[in-house]
Chain A
Amino acid sequence: MRKKTIFIILLALIFAFASNASAKTKLRFFYPVGVAGPLVKVINGMVDEFEKENPDIDVQPVYAGNYNQTMQKVQTAVLGGNPPDIAVVEISELFSLLQMDALIPLDQYIEQEGGQKFLDDYYKGFLGNAYGRDGKIYGFPFQRSTPILYWNKDMFRAAGDKLKAAGLDPDRPPKNWDELVAYAKVLTIREGNQTKQYGLIIPGGWNDWIFEAFSRQNRSQLIKEDGLTVTFNSPQNLEALNLWVKLMQDLKVCPVLRPWNITPDDFIGGVTAMMYYSTGGMAKIRKTAQFNWSAAFQPAGKQYGTPVGGGDFHIFKGIPKKNQDAAWKLAKFMTTPEMAAHWSIESGYVAVNKKSYDLKKMKEFLAKFPQMTVARDQLNYAYPKMMAVNYQLIRNAMTTNLDAALEGKKPPEKALADAHKLMEEAIKGK
């Protein structure tokens, strides 16, 4: 009798736990970190918050490397029939994911939240990369940025007399391309054949993204919004590339192809007076730079201009409906005014939710670090980032050819033409 009772109790316990376990929705969440800095901790902390609020959902955050590596992981998982439930990938990847038929549209969820009124809370500039060609919304903004110009105020001041002699104001950053060249020249310090201090770093690795900014500043673009028409070989783009070659090869005021990840270290270590980098790297600079620094809009060419950047949430096909619903909950949670503000403060990315900037916490923070508003304000001059199917192949064509031109191995005209041809092949197929 006693034995039987124990047996029944045990059985009941097993069922209790089993049903408990199956009631919990398990989410696999892939995310990248695309800039220098310890952001994995921040994301995991936000996920913990989410789980506290939603005890029936168990999120398994998977740090999948940089943007390229995360996309590779997602693609492989989708092809293997085992997609993640929710993932953040680089915004230009959308068309490739759609080509693989990997995503569900989010329109119904957004309808439930209040439709357009709900979307109006988010910066419009960040929604430009969220829509497929069918007009449905497939991405939801999360870690979003624009590239900005960081400048070392102390170095500007130290070179004050020389800057003034060149007719430049040492208390402000360059506002256009001509000034950029002039400032960089004065701020470069050489000793013998060693460069002690560079005027400027335009990093490699994501130079296609920074190049897109220069292209926009010169009233051109890389690929048109239809994702089909390549304009990489435009005369305006050639002008932009020639400017880069001049900075790196002729004037030698900017190192060639400094790796993306270590560029913020060069800025922090006093190797350069100015740096183009994502606003997402700002928290690291804020916490470690031992000098006065600030950030500014990228200098204008014919106009101010920049592509947006970063990563969006995507929810995947081929998973249970309740997982998709839970995934949407997670995406919404991560972009509430409070969470977006928290993420922005900890990372340097722009808070995608406009209401974040009304929070007291955010206002106090921005009063201390007004640099953090630069990327947001630059949104007024921002365009959607280029999007096309086979983006990885296209990006590879762009970076290899830009690299070759910047190292002086290919004339800029040929580099643009070669990349242009490869990009068209990638879009239209062989």
Chain B
Amino acid sequence: MHISSWKKPLRENKPLFNRGLSFWGGALSGREPMREKLEQFRSYLFLIPGLFFLMLFTYLPILWSSWLSFNRWNLLSPKPKFAGWENFVELWHHDVFWLVMKNKFFFVTISIFPTMFLALVFAILIDERLKGRVYYIYSLFYPTLIPMAAAAMLWVYIYSPNLGILNILLAELGITKLGWLGSSETSLWALIIMTFWKNLGFFMLIYLAGLQNVDRELYEAAYIDGAGWWRRHIKITFPLVGPTSLFVLVTAIILTFRVFDQIHLMTEGGPGNSSNVVVYYIFENGFKFFDWGRATSLTTILVCILLTLTLIIFGIFGKRITYTAD
């Protein structure tokens, strides 16, 4: 088994996706035999049904909504009317737009790294064959299995200011009771904590799977060489779960950007937009206020941001992380 290191550039490895099926590398060069070309044609044929539905439900709606974002279309002007950049200019001057953007980035940055770090730590601890590890796996993973709607209602009661268990515990510790969902200081934090609880187990499980790919012999060798627990994990585990981390990072960003259900059920963005984030704000504008022009222009902005973010992440990590190849 060959394990590539953190710093090794991708080009030294065998290309991952080029296993004789490449269209450009193969068919265009004209050197491949006829049979192979036919094979390629067939494989593209298999993509058509998938592509058809992607077109219908993803690409066309994206194009359609970007077009709508340049139109005025709301309850008072029920037919879309071209308005140029008006929607975007209005958003630029709208306080709530900047607030929901700020909230979103706060939400993402605050929740992702602790989630990833703790998920990895728990995964390592469970991987070390603790006693009763099955119990730990279950108890960490079960929040992921609870439907979000049920979990949200549960947390509404946990956060109840006078009767909820959280404030009662805080009071036992001598800390002032907090308003949680009813206060604009804490409502966003309340959602972050709840989302953390909900997602932790999922990422822990992915990390646990990633750890199974790490060669045990490496740990043994390091142990013999006298490396301590921390050193072993910092030098071996952390670099080798790189690909898993990339996957977790991207998934976590997508998951937290999409956060919606808990906001809808727990705060509806309140009090005073303090827990409102972009996706919920899009929903509010579209389905609550019926301002489709504004909703679609927000969507366009969000798509651009997510696209840039994904490109940046793959730009940074794609070069530095290598996948184990046989």
Interface bits B284-326 vs A (CB < 8 Å: 1, else 0): 1001111100000000000000000000000000000000000
In the complex, are the beta carbons of B156 and A262 less than 8 A apart? Answer: yes
One of B78, B157, B287, B291 near A72 (C-beta < 8 A) = B287
Q: Given A72-B287, A75-B287, A269-B163, is A429 in contact with B272 using a C-beta cutoff of 8 Å?
A: no
List the A residue with the shortest CB-CB distance to B171.
A194
One of B268, B271, B290 near A68 (C-beta < 8 A) = B268
In the complex, are the beta carbons of B163 and A400 less than 8 A apart? Answer: no
Interface residues of B in 178-222 (CB under 8 A from A): 179, 181-184
List the A residue with the shortest CB-CB distance to B264.
A69
> Is B76 interfacial (CB-CB < 8 Å)?
yes
Give the chain A neighbours of B258 by CB distance below 8 A.
none
> Is B77 interfacial (CB-CB < 8 Å)?
yes
List the A residue with the shortest CB-CB distance to B163.
A269
B190 to chain A minimum Cβ distance, whole angstroms, is 11
One of B75, B156, B179, B273 near A96 (C-beta < 8 A) = B75
Give the chain A neighbours of B268 by CB distance below 8 A.
68
The docked-state distance in angstroms from the alpha carbon of A271 to that of B290 is 39
Interface centre among B181, B183, B272, B289 (most CB of A within 10 A): B272
Give the chain A neighbours of B75 by CB distance below 8 A.
96, 99-100, 389-390
Give the chain B neighbours of A392 by CB distance below 8 A.
288-290
The docked-state distance in angstroms from the alpha carbon of A71 to that of B182 is 23
Interface residues of B in 68-93 (CB under 8 A from A): 74-78, 90
In the complex, are the beta carbons of A256 and B176 less than 8 A apart? Answer: no
- Interface of B, helix, strand, loop or mixed by DSSP: loop
> Is B26 interfacial (CB-CB < 8 Å)?
no
Interface bits A239-261 vs B (CB < 8 Å: 1, else 0): 00000000000000001111101
> Is B235 interfacial (CB-CB < 8 Å)?
no
Q: Given A99-B76, A193-B176, A269-B162, is A409 in contact with B272 using a C-beta cutoff of 8 Å?
A: yes
> Is A266 interfacial (CB-CB < 8 Å)?
yes
Interface centre among B171, B270, B273 (most CB of A within 10 A): B270
Interface residues of A in 382-402 (CB under 8 A from B): 389-390, 392-393, 396, 399-401
Q: Given A96-B75, A99-B76, A261-B156, is A407 in contact with B183 using a C-beta cutoff of 8 Å?
A: yes
The docked-state distance in angstroms from the alpha carbon of A71 to that of B184 is 26
In the complex, are the beta carbons of B290 and A204 less than 8 A apart? Answer: no
In the complex, are the beta carbons of B288 and A204 less than 8 A apart? Answer: no
B165 to chain A minimum Cβ distance, whole angstroms, is 13
> Is B161 interfacial (CB-CB < 8 Å)?
yes
Q: Number of B residues contacting the other chain (C-beta, 8 Å)? A: 32
Interface bits A55-89 vs B (CB < 8 Å: 1, else 0): 00000000000001101100110000000000000
One of A75, A76, A204, A390 near B76 (C-beta < 8 A) = A390
Interface residues of B in 254-295 (CB under 8 A from A): 264, 268, 270-273, 284, 287-291
In the complex, are the beta carbons of B179 and A393 less than 8 A apart? Answer: no
Give the chain B neighbours of A400 by CB distance below 8 A.
270-273
In the complex, are the beta carbons of B289 and A258 less than 8 A apart? Answer: no
> Is B144 interfacial (CB-CB < 8 Å)?
no
> Is A127 interfacial (CB-CB < 8 Å)?
no
Interface bits A102-143 vs B (CB < 8 Å: 1, else 0): 000000000000000000000000000000000000000000
> Is A265 interfacial (CB-CB < 8 Å)?
yes
List the B residue with the shortest CB-CB distance to A394.
B289
> Is B160 interfacial (CB-CB < 8 Å)?
yes
List the A residue with the shortest CB-CB distance to B285.
A393
B178 to chain A minimum Cβ distance, whole angstroms, is 12
List the B residue with the shortest CB-CB distance to A66.
B268
In the complex, are the beta carbons of B289 and A390 less than 8 A apart? Answer: yes
Give the chain A neighbours of B171 by CB distance below 8 A.
194
List the A residue with the shortest CB-CB distance to B96.
A400
The docked-state distance in angstroms from the alpha carbon of A430 to that of B90 is 10
B144 to chain A minimum Cβ distance, whole angstroms, is 24
Interface residues of A in 357-405 (CB under 8 A from B): 389-390, 392-393, 396, 399-401, 403-404
In the complex, are the beta carbons of B77 and A429 less than 8 A apart? Answer: yes
The docked-state distance in angstroms from the alpha carbon of A115 to that of B38 is 77
A81 to chain B minimum Cβ distance, whole angstroms, is 14
In the complex, are the beta carbons of B183 and A256 less than 8 A apart? Answer: yes
B260 to chain A minimum Cβ distance, whole angstroms, is 13
Give the chain A neighbours of B264 by CB distance below 8 A.
69
> Is B133 interfacial (CB-CB < 8 Å)?
no
> Is B177 interfacial (CB-CB < 8 Å)?
yes
Q: Given A390-B76, A429-B76, is A255 in contact with B182 using a C-beta cutoff of 8 Å?
A: yes
B187 to chain A minimum Cβ distance, whole angstroms, is 9
The docked-state distance in angstroms from the alpha carbon of A201 to that of B171 is 21
Give the chain A neighbours of B156 by CB distance below 8 A.
259, 261-262
In the complex, are the beta carbons of A399 and B270 less than 8 A apart? Answer: yes
A409 to chain B minimum Cβ distance, whole angstroms, is 7
Give the chain B neighbours of A262 by CB distance below 8 A.
156-157, 160, 163
In the complex, are the beta carbons of A68 and B288 less than 8 A apart? Answer: yes
Interface centre among A257, A259, A403 (most CB of B within 10 A): A259
One of B78, B157, B163, B271 near A257 (C-beta < 8 A) = B271
The docked-state distance in angstroms from the alpha carbon of A71 to that of B157 is 25
The docked-state distance in angstroms from the alpha carbon of A215 to that of B301 is 40
Q: Which 9 A-B pairs have the closest CB atoms?
A: A403-B272, A429-B76, A403-B271, A271-B162, A257-B182, A393-B289, A72-B287, A400-B272, A392-B288
- What are 26 A-B contacts with C-beta separation under 8 Å? A72-B287, A76-B287, A96-B75, A100-B78, A194-B171, A204-B182, A256-B183, A257-B182, A257-B183, A259-B156, A259-B181, A262-B157, A262-B163, A265-B160, A266-B162, A269-B163, A389-B75, A390-B289, A390-B290, A392-B290, A396-B288, A396-B289, A400-B271, A403-B270, A407-B183, A430-B90
A69-B264, A266-B161 known; 19 other A-B pairs, CB under 8 Å? A68-B268, A72-B288, A99-B76, A194-B171, A256-B182, A257-B270, A262-B156, A265-B163, A266-B160, A392-B288, A392-B290, A396-B284, A400-B270, A400-B273, A403-B184, A403-B271, A404-B272, A407-B271, A409-B272
